[in-house]
Amino acid sequence: MTDTDFIVDFVRKVIKEEKEKTKKPKPKPKPKGKKYGRNDIIVGYGAGKSAGGRFIGSVNEAGALAKEDPGALMSNLGVKAGGTGLKGAEKILEAAISSTETMKIAFGKLTAKTSGAKGSITVTPGRINSRNGANLLHHVLVGAQGAGIFKAPEAVQLQVYENTIVVHISPYKNSWGE
């Protein structure tokens, strides 16, 4: 082996080592958790957060009524019609929030937004905190589904996000803002 061959081999090894160092390993995709689907209405309190204690009594009562007599819950809230998907959820939540004085006090403004193909409904809590509010609105949608006035062709998620309640379509819990 000549000096030139030795130098060329050495340079090739150095270049090969540098290439291997600069290659970044592909990051493994973060597992998103359980995938939800058709007719699922899920509630999330933010990434990495759990429910965090008991809900206020009226929220628990609404949950019980949503399961046992969803028609009565819809009647109590003044919800007469619904629909399908995010538009149906918007119609139901708007009616529920605006029909009774208690719900008007508990919740503030409801805003529907569309960004490209992704849409959402944002509800600002009034006197109720966002965690209890998200759970109460979840009971409203579950009750509407039980009463037969709401259909969810894809998973509908209610999520606490930056002190608001965001309702959107997603098969993964706590996926808003990702």
Residue 18 confidence (pLDDT) above 70 = yes
Residue 175 in domain? no
Taking the chain, what is the end-to-end CA distance rounded to the nearest angstrom? 58
Residue 4 in domain? no
Show the domain range for 152.
41-169
Mean pLDDT on 7-28: 76
Residue 5 in domain? no
Residue 10 in domain? no
Question: Based on the structure, what is the number of domains in the chain?
Answer: 1
Residue 29 in domain? no
| Cβ–Cβ < 8 Å for 170, 118 | no
Q: Specify the pLDDT at position 116.
A: 63
Q: What is the mean pLDDT of the chain?
A: 81
Residue 118 in domain? yes
